[in-house]
């Protein structure tokens, strides 16, 4: 490809992004491909950088949920060819390290020295430019790219295979869920709704979804879940009353920016505390919600260092199991793709807006403020 320019979403500083002309990506390694991006999603974790809650510096190109069409291949690529439609796990993984060999691609040790795991367009996750841009370089492409049927069918559904659908599924998996069990999901953002949807797809007997945003609670109801508004009354008390006892499994899809019952004051440990209280003895907790090593915007000194006070004694007393960490997208995305193709899953019900790239700065502002129904935004950088 030529050394031309393209449009990309550029981080300028806290609460400010712009669309700028940047250099086109180039093949840098024989295993690379270049894709023309058809869809990139704005993720809740992009907001952590947007809000200045990370060490992200101006100049970062956002976008870790990406799909598109292969337009150029490196000489070492054998499984992909020009014209292939692909979706990319947000995890950048080399496929060669010990963790990748064991299927733990979120913790690849070969793509980001000094840090377990890599991602596109995310602070501390390696030198990989994001895909909220017209073109994107994909490293280790034979390993990372998942082929999709040609055309534009299921575009919004397939775009969610990059992160939130597998991450929601992963949260349920981490909890040790079995069909027929009861599940409580804390947080009805896109990942929380995907965790709840995964529980429905996998045969949960009852699913409770906790949030305070009316549109999100209504989305949970539409997929057959019981919505629980935590500003009305303690959500744990509500769930235990509705369920006739504690649930079998609970999922934290909130993370470190959890808030108290007023919905206005941050209380980073509140979701974890609720999970421990609401889950029956010997039940399981899945924690895909993002927690960070340091958080300069945290409400107290302890939380700023990534240290949270939780009722560990109660966790021990109840014999609860827990799993946490980023999603190994490749462990799930092929199978979730096939569920979509078969008509058994349609995760795009969470998508609220589809926009062109020039609208991205306004979309970030509205998504951050949770206004006008902004829940999951898809960017089409080259039009649609």
pTM: 0.95
Residue from 372, 365, 331, 349 nearest 200 by CA: 349
Flag whether pLDDT at 328 surpasses 80.
yes
Interval 172-189 mean pLDDT: 98
Report residue 72's pLDDT band, with 50, 70 and 90 as the boundaries: very high
Q: What pLDDT is recorded for position 2?
A: 55
| Domains in the chain: ranges and CATH | 5-163+330-380 (3.90.180.10), 166-324 (3.40.50.720)
Q: Which residues of 100-116 are buried (b: 16+ CB within 10 A; e: fewer)?
A: beeebbbbbbbbbeeee
- Largest Cα separation within the chain, whole Å, is 64
pLDDT at res. 260: 87
> Are the C-beta atoms of 131 and 40 separated by less than 8 Å?
yes
pLDDT at 1 over 60: no
Q: How far apart are CA 170 and CA 91, in angstroms?
A: 14
Q: What is the mean pLDDT of residues 172-188?
A: 98
How deeply is 157 buried, as exposed, middle or buried, from its count of CB atoms within 10 A (0-12, 13-18, 19+)? buried
- CA separation for the pair 58, 52 (Å, rounded): 10
> Does the structure show a pLDDT above 80 at 264?
no
**Separation between Cα atoms, residue 78 and residue 8, nearest integer Å:** 29
The whole-angstrom separation of Cα 62 and Cα 9 is 6
| CB 41 within 8 Å of CB 159 | yes
- 178 by DSSP, 3-state: which? coil
């Amino acid at each position: 490809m030529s050394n031309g320019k393209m449009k990309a979403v550029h981080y300028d500083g806290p609460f400010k992004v712009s669309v700028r002309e940047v250099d086109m990506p180039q093949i840098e390694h024989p295993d690379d491909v270049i894709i023309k991006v058809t869809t990139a999603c704005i993720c809740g974790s992009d907001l952590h950088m947007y809000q200045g809650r990370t060490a992200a510096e101006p100049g970062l190109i956002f976008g870790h949920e990406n799909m598109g069409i292969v337009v150029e291949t490196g000489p070492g690529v054998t499984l992909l060819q020009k014209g292939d439609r692909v979706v990319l796990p947000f995890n950048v993984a080399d496929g060669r390290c010990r963790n990748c060999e064991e299927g733990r691609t979120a913790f690849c040790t070969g793509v980001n020295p000094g840090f377990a795991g890599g991602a596109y367009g995310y602070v501390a996750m390696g030198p990989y430019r994001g895909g909220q841009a017209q073109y994107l370089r994909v490293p280790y492409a034979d390993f990372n790219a998942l082929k999709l049927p040609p055309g534009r069918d299921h575009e919004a559904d397939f775009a969610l295979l990059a992160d939130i659908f597998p991450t929601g599924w992963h949260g349920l998996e981490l909890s040790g869920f079995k069909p027929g069990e009861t599940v409580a999901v804390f947080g009805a953002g896109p990942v929380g709704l995907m965790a709840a949807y995964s529980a429905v797809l996998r045969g949960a007997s009852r699913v409770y979804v906790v949030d305070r945003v009316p549109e999100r609670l209504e989305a949970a109801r539409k997929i057959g879940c019981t919505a629980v508004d935590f500003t009305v009354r303690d959500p744990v008390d509500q769930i235990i009353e509705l369920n006739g006892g504690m649930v079998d499994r609970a999922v934290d899809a909130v993370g470190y920016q959890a808030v108290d019952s007023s919905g206005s004051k941050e209380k980073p440990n509140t979701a974890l505390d609720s999970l421990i209280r609401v889950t029956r003895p010997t039940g399981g907790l899945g924690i895909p919600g993002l927690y960070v090593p340091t958080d300069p915007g945290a409400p107290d000194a302890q939380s700023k260092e990534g240290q949270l006070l939780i009722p560990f004694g109660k966790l021990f007393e109840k014999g609860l199991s827990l799993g946490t960490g980023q999603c190994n997208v490749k462990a799930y995305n092929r199978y979730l793709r096939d569920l979509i193709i078969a008509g058994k899953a349609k995760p795009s019900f969470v998508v609220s807006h589809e926009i062109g790239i020039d609208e991205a700065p306004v979309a970030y502002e509205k998504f951050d403020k949770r206004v006008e129904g902004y829940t999951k935004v898809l960017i089409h950088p080259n039009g649609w």
